[in-house]
Amino acid sequence: MADFRKLFPAMAGVALMFGAASSAFAQQQVAAFSCVGNAGVPPLVRAEGLTELVGDLVLNCNGGVPTAAGAPVPQTNVQIFLNTNVTSRLTNPDDSAWSEALLMIDEPADGAQRYCSRNGGCTINGVGPAVGSDGLADGVDYDQTTASGGVIPNVYQARGSGANSLLWTGVPIDPPGTTATRIIRITNVRANANQLGVSSTLIPTQIVMFISATGTTSIPINNPQQTVAFIQPGLSFSLRQVKTNYLQCVSWNRAASTSNTETAIGSNTGSGPAAGTAVRFSEGFASAFKRRNVALPASHPNANESAIPTSQNVPGAIYNTETGFYDVNALAKLAPISPGGSLSGGNRLDRAGLADHGTRLMARFNNLPAGTALYVSLYTVTTSGDACSGLPCITGRRLANTATPTAARLVTTDASGAGAFSATSGTNNANNTVGVNVNGGSGGDSIPMAPVALSNGSGQAVWEVMDSDPLTSQTYEFAVAVAYTANTSNNLPGLGTATVSGSFAPLSTVTTASTSAPIPRFADTSTARTMWNISACTTNLLFQFLTNQAGFDSGFAISNTSTDPFGTSPQSGPCKLNYYGGTTGGGAAPAAQTSAVIPSGAQLVSVLSSGGNYGIAATPGFQGYMIAQCSFQYAHGFAFISDVGANRVSESYQALVLDSSLGSRTIFFSEVLGH
């Protein structure tokens, strides 16, 4: 018993020690290193887009025990997956797995950013618990010669790992302890939004990112699945039409139809509207149109030149540009990765995040009739309401050097709409002689235009967004003008209906990550729209009463009066004669017949009982009315009724023109006394 009493204090001490150890273990469990996922506010991305920048995913991490001074910081493989293809640029053609996507530690500012571009990561050693989270990655370099904040890597370059995944290997992540927070940010992830499409319900389609962190140590992540973008249509395309119908026999913008000279485009006579059509590109949401980079031209405002990109390297900043996180000096900030302080390879980090150009808008023209030329405006134009005889007016332009948040510029590209910025030179001016000058006053503006290269009736025009307002839903309008010289004897211009479709550009079928495909790039979701048509010139004449019954006969004449002293284009064509009524004894009316071609300045002359010239056959016994459809614009008709042989009585009349008025062919004012 005495021995037991002696042992009791010792046992109590042991129990106390076990209790303290248990408490410490409990505290260690509470302070385990873990992270919480957060995607902030997911952006809207364009449903047409193949390379849309999704929102950053941020891990807020705390707990754990900071790595002891001189000990290797635990390395982790961080991998993300999307529910669609990852399309971030692959930066190094020699090793095509390297991606522009980046992982940052502790939100490093510009002066503190150090890049690791090495498969397997950049090894660093710990500095103990003294430093903590201070905006710099904790540690010293491999040689333990440089303290935290020197060249310790804190920005890591990803590698592609399958169509929908990115992987960062060997990222040293030092637990910050219980009194600090380590922030891990993943940025420059681009996604194929078009692959998922637009939701048919009230809930938008989402791009979802999944994240995992494993390696020499595993990091528990709460909320590892995050919505990083919502998909919405980015573009609406429409037309504003000033003129939709053109006539084959009437030249339009004649001087511009054969040469790209400084000739006004306006009409055949100089009295018509400026351009026939305005193509309209409207944002599907306020930030759908983006310029390339936050940089502006040195001579801003100026839409004739592209600015030299500048850094956009503030972690978490929203730039509303096609470029993501981009550091002009990334290659100068490479971190040592081995004894001796040699630098990591870089793997073209200078390309990371940088877009090739701003948002581009493409109009593709098809079915242009033979013999036509097409022109488009260099810059955006403005259109008014129904102020021009019930039609919209194209009233002017926004100048290249006018301060405006809606500047865009016609550029020369390849067939898909890709290529470096190259401003297209203007060759012609479209004069708007109706409407109001956009800068005030009366009269129209001179709108700089350039020709569209056509091949087999097809061509395209591409405008690049040079400046944009992410807080306003914008519509960009561009003028389109057709030009041709009437040559009806050769059936020029051809007859037909021209169409246009509008889309983002460049268009691409590359739906996965690429080293060479442009950024941004888009799928073609456009629909062709009717732009205008060229119709044959016609005159429709009504001969109210003709008869070859009860001892009477009728004759008629149709004159092609397109030859005149006023400069009218000579026209020629046949006339189709349509008979309505009956024949002697209750028979049916004669079948329609078509004459041979009636030259300009000639007359078709015919009598019902005997026929006439240009191949018109007799229609004996007919009584009723006739409508003549002539394939030229200046047909006029005359008819007479008399007794057979015209021995005793004869009456005559002029045929009625059934068409809308063309107006006068002369510039003179005279007394008008009759039909």
> Phi/psi at 530 (nearest 5 deg)?
-70, 130
Quote the CA–CA distance of 283 and 253 in Å, as a whole number. Answer: 32
What pLDDT is recorded for position 668?
A: 77
Quote the CA–CA distance of 548 and 544 in Å, as a whole number. Answer: 14
Classify residue 68 by its DSSP letter. Answer: P
Fold (topology level) of 539-657: Hypothetical Protein Tm1070; Chain: A (2.60.290)
Q: Are 537 and 250 in contact (CB under 8 A)?
A: yes
Quote the CA–CA distance of 646 and 526 in Å, as a whole number. Answer: 67
Closest CA to 662 of 633, 625, 627: 633
Q: Which two tokens stand for residue 142?
A: 């491999």
What pLDDT is recorded for position 2?
A: 46
What type of residue sits at position 116?
A: C
Question: For the residues of 236-279, what is the DSSP string, one character each?
Answer: EEEEEES--EEETTS-BSGGGSS--SS-EES-SSS-S-S-SEEE
Q: Which two tokens stand for residue 399?
A: 């100048």
What pLDDT is recorded for position 536?
A: 85
Report how far Cα 47 is from the mean position of its chain's Cα atoms. Answer: 12
Quote the CA–CA distance of 35 and 69 in Å, as a whole number. Answer: 23
Q: Are 465 and 196 in contact (CB under 8 A)?
A: no
Torsion angle in degrees (nearest 10) through CA of 85, 90, 94, 95: -60
- Strand blocks (E) in 39-141: 44-46, 52-53, 57-63, 75-82, 98-105, 115-116
SS (H, E, C) 182-222: EEEEEECCEECCCCCCCCCCCCCEEEEEEEEEEECCCCCEE
User: Is it true that the peptide bond before 493 is cis, omega within 30 degrees of 0?
Assistant: yes
Quote the CA–CA distance of 445 and 395 in Å, as a whole number. Answer: 7
Q: Which residues contact 389 (CB under 8 A, 6 or more apart)?
A: none
Quote the CA–CA distance of 606 and 556 in Å, as a whole number. Answer: 6
Strands 264-265 and 428-431, by their bridges, are parallel
Report how far Cα 418 is from the mean position of its chain's Cα atoms. Answer: 12
Quote the CA–CA distance of 156 and 136 in Å, as a whole number. Answer: 14
What number of residues does the chain have?
Answer: 675
What pLDDT is recorded for position 21?
A: 41
Q: What's the pTM?
A: 0.83
Q: Are 258 and 74 in contact (CB under 8 A)?
A: no
Quote the CA–CA distance of 238 and 224 in Å, as a whole number. Answer: 42
- The vertex-510 CA angle with 507 and 513, nearest 5°, equals 125
- For residue 23, give the 3-state DSSP assignment: helix
Q: Are 271 and 376 in contact (CB under 8 A)?
A: no
Domains of the chain: which residue ranges?
A: 29-232, 234-297+356-535, 539-657
Report how far Cα 484 is from the mean position of its chain's Cα atoms. Answer: 28
Q: Are 79 and 313 in contact (CB under 8 A)?
A: no
Go through 500-527 and write b for each residue having 16 or more CB atoms within 10 A of its CB, e for each that does not: bbbbbbbbbeebbbbeebbbbbbbbbbe
pLDDT means over runs of 10, the chain (675 residues): 44 42 43 89 96 97 88 92 98 93 94 88 80 47 42 90 96 89 96 97 96 86 97 96 81 75 49 64 96 85 84 96 97 70 75 97 97 91 61 55 65 97 88 39 63 96 92 90 85 94 98 97 97 91 96 96 87 94 95 95 96 97 97 94 81 93 79 69
